[in-house]
Amino acid sequence: MTLLDVSGLEVRHGQLPAVSDLDLVLERGQTLAVIGANGAGKSTLLRCLAGVLPAARGRVLLDGRDVTRLPAHRRVAAGIAMVPEGRRLFPSLTVEENLLTGTYRARPGPWDVASVMGLFPWMVDRRRQNAGVLSGGEQQAVAIGRALVSNPQVLLLDEVSLGLAPVVVQRIYEVLPRILMAGTSVLLVEQDVSQALRVADRVQCLLEGRVVLEGAPSDLSAAAVERAYFGLGPRAESTEPTEAAAGPPHPSGGAR
Are β-strands 185-189 and 31-35 bridged in parallel, bridged antiparallel, or unpaired?
parallel
Q: Which helix (H) or strand (E) holds 128?
A: none
Domains and CATH numbers, the chain: 2-230 (3.40.50.300)
Q: Is the pTM of this model over 0.85?
A: yes
Is 250 or 40 the better-scoring residue by pLDDT?
40
Q: Return d(Cα 179, Cα 182) in angstroms, integer.
A: 5
pLDDT at 254: 39
pLDDT at 71: 95
CB atoms < 10 A from the CB of 218, how many?
12
pLDDT at 86: 76
